[in-house]
Amino acid sequence: MSKHPSLDIVESYGTELSGKKIVLCVAGSVAAYKSIELARLLMRHGANVKCVMSNASTKLIKPDYMKWATGNNVITKLTGNMEHIDLADYKRSDLIIVYPSTANTLGKLANGIDDTPISTVLTVALGSKIPILMGLAMHASMYENPAVCKNMEFLKKRVGFVSPQMIEGKAKAPEPEDVLDFVLTKLGQSKRLKGKKVLITAGPTVEKIDPVRVITNMSTGKTGTLLASELVSAGAKVTLVYGPGTAIPPKGAKVIPVNTVTEMFNAIKKELKKKFDIVILAAAASDFIPKNSNTKIKSNTNTVIKLARAPKIIDHIKKLHKGILVGFKAEANISKKELISRARKKLKESHADLMVANDIGSGYNNSDYNEVFLVDSKNVVKTGRKTKAKIAKIIRKSIEKNCKR
């Protein structure tokens, strides 16, 4: 039998969930239509998704929609084939997601009631200790009902909850992307990145002019720390050489704090005496080092500050590191064609495998959004303007493609 056409999208966004069997239970909330998008997102990251629908949900979306979305037959009733055992008995699946989840479904799970296909699957899963994740959707008054709160309290050590969106007096179902992020954090280790040793830099550097004045830049370190977080979630062993940025480094990464470009370069050289699979230079390291005065420069006269060129860290890495090298190239107020040209030139000069290029321009304001170009020896990928969190995911996927299985 030929492969269902919907399966063509599997792993199109990444391999974090490859080989994972996920059961998606769709309860009778008006948010049921969002389950189609969630199923597709899970598949794009490699998961095999099978769907169970309640009778109420089939009145909102047809089972054929979910069959189209997943490429698998949809379970709407239990038969002698023992579907609930096949899906949720010991080690039969990796995760059960209830999305959207109603107060009714929550209550049945908390009290051992299994009179529907979904509640029976959940009862088996709770007993067989297969992880369960619920994305609740209901009116705010229902969400705050003491019985609902009691049920959540009872289940919280056994079940994961993705917080609903409190909008217009309703606890609306979380967005599919929020559920996906939760799943990737729990299950999303990449076959290609798991166990890889990654050295990444992030943040600005600070160069002293005198004891009270410095030269620095406006980098917050956000993109670098978000990328480090993505790599940690993927199962990589991450060492972060971090300048004095404002973004919080991810848990799970070894953090080496530095201040100056010299300190950053020395830390990198010391770390590269160990073997790393991937080096990513995302820091906004200074290009110049001022001649430092040991005393405060007087402010009542004009002063000339002499600047010496700082070492270009990326140009030295391939002498110390034989694995994958990713650089960042920031320019200001130039055409996209010129930006890509300069990125490709630096790619060749440094013998890097990938260059992440962006134009910080005159409007640079540390916003949560960015637009970058991923440049390698053959291709250019334009991300479009997206949140830095999404940019980090895109960069991670590009790095992942460079890794051997």
Q: Which CATH number applies to 197-402: 3.30.565.10, 3.40.50.970, 3.40.50.10300, 3.30.1300.10?
A: 3.40.50.10300
- Average pLDDT for residues 86-109, to the nearest whole number? 95
Burial of 183 (C-beta count, 10 Å sphere; 0-12/13-18/19+): buried
- Say what the pLDDT of residue 1 is: 55
From edge to edge, which strands make up the β-sheet containing 373-375? Answer: 254-257, 237-242, 197-202, 278-281, 324-331, 354-359, 373-375, 380-382
| Listed residue (229, 171, 193) closest to 31, CA to CA | 171
- Average pLDDT for residues 97-108, to the nearest whole number? 96
- Residue 139: pLDDT band (50, 70, 90) is confident
Query: Has residue 63 got a pLDDT over 80?
Result: yes
What is d(CA 118, CA 52) in angstroms, rounded to the nearest whole number? 6
Higher pLDDT, 15 or 29: 29
The answer to whether 186 and 131 are in contact (CB under 8 A) is yes
- Say what the pLDDT of residue 404 is: 64
Q: Looking only at Cα atoms, what is the longest distance across the chain? A: 92
Query: Has residue 309 got a pLDDT over 70?
Result: yes
Higher pLDDT, 113 or 362: 113
- Average pLDDT for residues 134-157, to the nearest whole number? 91
- Residue 258: pLDDT band (50, 70, 90) is very high
| pLDDT tens-digit series, residues 66-86 | 999 999 999 999 999 999 999
| Listed residue (352, 348, 362) closest to 328, CA to CA | 352
- Average pLDDT for residues 29-51, to the nearest whole number? 94
Query: Has residue 184 got a pLDDT over 90?
Result: no
Average per-residue pLDDT for the chain:
91
- Average pLDDT for residues 12-34, to the nearest whole number? 89
What is d(CA 42, CA 269) in angstroms, rounded to the nearest whole number? 39
Residues whose CB falls within 8 Å of the CB of residue 45, separated by 6 or more in sequence, listed in order:
11, 13, 14, 15, 16, 17, 180, 184, 188
The answer to whether 124 and 96 are in contact (CB under 8 A) is no
- Say what the pLDDT of residue 29 is: 92
- Say what the pLDDT of residue 138 is: 86
What does DSSP assign to residue 166? E
The answer to whether 371 and 358 are in contact (CB under 8 A) is yes
Percent of the chain clearing pLDDT 70 (strictly above):
98
Query: Has residue 393 got a pLDDT over 60?
Result: yes
66 CA to centre of own chain: 26
- At residue 96, what are phi and psi to the nearest 5 degrees? -110, 125
Delimit the CATH 3.40.50.1950 region(s) of the chain.
Answer: 5-187
Instruction: Please name the CATH architecture into which domain 5-187 falls.
Output: 3-Layer(aba) Sandwich (3.40)
Query: Has residue 197 got a pLDDT over 90?
Result: yes
What does DSSP assign to residue 210? S
- At residue 331, what are phi and psi to the nearest 5 degrees? -130, 175
Question: Which of 51-55, 137-141, 278-282 is least confident?
Answer: 137-141
Pairing of strands 159-162, 373-375: unpaired
- Say what the pLDDT of residue 365 is: 54
- Residue 293: pLDDT band (50, 70, 90) is confident
- Say what the pLDDT of residue 368 is: 81
Delimit the CATH 3.40.50.10300 region(s) of the chain.
Answer: 197-402
Cα angle, residue 33 at apex, residues 30 and 37 outer, rounded to 5°: 145
- Say what the pLDDT of residue 192 is: 87
